[in-house]
A = this chain, B = another copy of it.
Amino acid sequence: MPEVQHLDPVDWRILTILQDDASITNKALADEVGLSTSSCHERVRRLRSAGVITGIKAVVDPAAIGRGLHAFIAIRLRPHRRDLVDAFTAAVLTLPETLALYNVSGPEDFFLHVAVADSADLQRIIMEQLATRPEVGHAQTHLIFDRPLAAPVRPRRSIS
């Protein structure tokens, strides 16, 4: 299903624009890339049905709702039994502070990305939600100081 698509320069410009701001009108987007509204609309429709664009989503700033402190928590599980892993995953995903959970290789098993109000809140999560779980062997916290620019998916070379 995730067939690799061939994208021409116009497709890339459309993707670049929509990754930055998808609330742009089709008309404005068409002007931007130099197409008629109908052609542009068809391009976008194709990118969606081809699975290149998987969705249009609103981005919410955690800081605006009192969760300005971000952290990665690198987690090592003790026994690797499937049911324990699933239970851990399900529990972590229900936490409102969870932004993303990555199952990774290496000495750590999971990277958990959280957004919390303050360090006390972070400590609470770790103590009450993670350290108490028997399957959690070790958890190391990395505060996120900065995230220098979100990088959209972009072409290998310059956009024509």
Residues of A within 8 A of B (CB): 2-5, 7, 15, 18-23, 50-68, 72, 89, 93, 96, 98-106, 108, 111, 115, 140-156
CB distance from A57 to the nearest CB of B (A): 5
* Copies of the protein in its oligomer: 2
Do the beta carbons of A98 and B151 come within 8 Å of each other?
Answer: yes
Cβ–Cβ contact B15 & A60, under 8 A: yes
Q: CA of A53 to CA of B23 in the docked complex: distance in angstroms?
A: 12
Besides A65-B153, A103-B147, 16 new A-B residue pairs in contact (Cβ under 8 A), listed by A number: A2-B64, A2-B68, A4-B66, A15-B60, A19-B57, A22-B56, A52-B61, A53-B59, A56-B59, A57-B57, A72-B102, A93-B148, A99-B151, A100-B151, A106-B143, A111-B111
